[in-house]
Every structure is written in C-alpha cells, then in structure tokens.
Structure 1
Amino acid sequence: MTDLARFAELVPLDHGLSVVVTLRADHTPHTTVVNAGVLAHPTTGERAVAFVAAGGTRKLAHLRTNPTIAVVVRAGWQWAAVEGRAQLIGPDDPHSQVGDEQLTLLLRDIFSAAGGTHDDWATFDQVMREERRTAVLVSPTRVYSNPT
C-alpha cells in the first residue's frame, strides 16, 4: 500500500521531524534527521514525501549511487514509514522539466509542506542557492505505520 495519508497526518504534529535511512556503498544503513512533508511531485503529480538537503551531504551522495530510501515521521508514539526510491532535483542534479525558477518554488513548497514558514522568501531563496540545496522526492513503494 502506498497511501501517504497517515504520514501527512503526522507532519504538522512535530514539524515533519523525520529519520531518513539511505544505503552506503557497502549496503549498511546511514541515518540522518530532516524535516519532511508530503506534496505533489513536480513532474508526475503523484503524491511524494519530500525534504530539502544541503549540497555535499552524505545522504545525497548515497542517493546518487542508490536511490533506495526510507523515511519515518513520528509524533509522540505515533509513526509512519515510507520506503521507496528518491529522485533528486537541484543545482547538482538538474531535471529537464524543472528550471531554476521552478526549483526555487519547489524548495519553498517542500519547506512549507514540512511545516516551515518564512518572513523573507528572498533571503530563503538566496540561502538555498548558496548551500546548493536539493529537493529529495520519495516515490513510495511501501507505506506502513503503527495502529492508530
């Protein structure tokens, strides 16, 4: 089952605070914490889990080699997990259907979907460019959670 409703329900309860698991080259897990949300994929329109990653991070290096990913969001003792494949869209991972202006809006949309707000979008956009931020979009292949 790949319904992201449960994941989306938990995002606003703790700013989308999520654990991400990627795979190193030796197939061991690498974990990190991000703020994630749910939104429409910019090219397919399908619902996806998304987060923003700074350029040069290990998670991006791992995902470029192997796009297998798991993301777990939690709020209190409630949690939902999404397993799938990640697609990267950013300055170091260009997409033919997502230009610079669309990337700027996509990064804003992901930030907002994860519960973020900003008073100065121009500064936000500048920081995203300077840090070579990349959109990570997870197309789900499996979604599960604890009982509600």
Structure 2
Amino acid sequence: MLSTLRRDGSIQSSVVNAGVMAHPSTGDPVVALVAIGGARKLQHLRADPRTTVVARAGWQWVTVEGTAEIIGPDDADPGTDAEGLRLLLRAIFEAAGGTHDDWDTYDRVMREERRTAVLIAPTRIYSNPG
C-alpha cells in the first residue's frame, strides 16, 4: 500500500507491487515500484515527495516512511538515459517478485504506458514485534 498526499493535505492510498533494491546511483537501499505514466500517485509525489509504504505478509507488517524520487519519461534524471530507464524498470519489476517470459513485450508496454520508476529513500521504518 502506497500513501501519498493530495494538494489539500488529505491522503490517497493505492495498492502497489514494490520491492527493496539498491538505488541505481547511490547503492543505498530504497523501496521501489513502477507507476503508470498518468497515475495520480505520480502527480501527488511530484507536488510533495513524502510518502508511506506498508507491506504485509500474514500477521507481520512493516511501514516505510520516506521521500520519493521519480525517474521516467516525464521525470528526467541526468544519470539515467532511455536504456538506463529500461533496465531500471526491469530491475524494479524483479525486486517486486516479478518474472517475465517476453522482455521485449514488457519493454514495449513500459514505453507505451510511460511507466515511471519511484524510488523511496527511507526516513523511518517500523513494524510489529515478532
């Protein structure tokens, strides 16, 4: 579950597939996910990058609060060219537990849908005991 802030300060939450991986530039651990180009979550994160991700497995849960960095066709990163973005989107998909039988199709869909990488640098992490 990813929660972002709307312009009026209210919270918008959506279910996402995310994983933990090394930031492509710094190597620091981040929570990473891929969002479709026109998603509200991206609009919210562009306006205010503070976000919270909650993951659950059975009775265990973890919350990660942090700051989002957006890298995609509409959010250029000086260190990430088109090939770098293609590989980053694949890496995030795999970090979230995904596998694919046809990477060419995956890449084409990512381009067509203007898919964007969201990298969340943790500022606070907490979970239930156990």
**TM-score after normalising by structure 2:** 0.99
Q: What residue ranges of structure 2 are gaps of 5+ in the alignment?
A: none
The residue identity in structure 2 corresponding to 1:101 is E
Structure 1 runs of 4+ off > 4 angstroms? none
The match for 2:4 is: 22
User: How far is 1:44 from its partner?
Assistant: 1.2
- Aligned counterparts of 1:50 and 1:37: Cα–Cα separation in 2: 5
Q: What is aligned with 2:82? A: 100
The equivalent residue for 2:117 is 135
Q: Which amino acid in the other structure matches residue 109 of structure 1?
A: A
1:42 aligns with 2:24: yes
Distance in 2 separating the partners of 1:35 and 1:131 = 17
CA distance in 1 between counterparts of 2:13 and 2:77 reads 26
Does residue 101 of structure 2 align to residue 119 of structure 1? yes
Provide structure 1 residue ranges, at least 5 long, that are not aligned to the other structure. Answer: 1-18
Q: Deviations over 1:66-98 (max 9, x none)?
A: 000000011111100100000000000010001
For these two proteins, the number of residue pairs brought into alignment is 130
Where 1:91 maps in the other structure, the secondary structure is coil
Aligned pair 1:53/2:26, yes or no? no
Equivalent positions of 1:67-86 (< 5 A) are: 67-86=49-68
Distance in structure 1 (CA, Å) of the matches to 2:33 and 2:90 = 10
Q: CA deviation at 1:28?
A: 0.6
The CA deviation string for residues 19-53 of structure 1, in whole angstroms up to 9 with x for no partner, is 00000001110000000000011111101000000
Sequence identity, in percent? 63
Residue of structure 2 aligned with 1:91, choices 73, 88, 101: 73
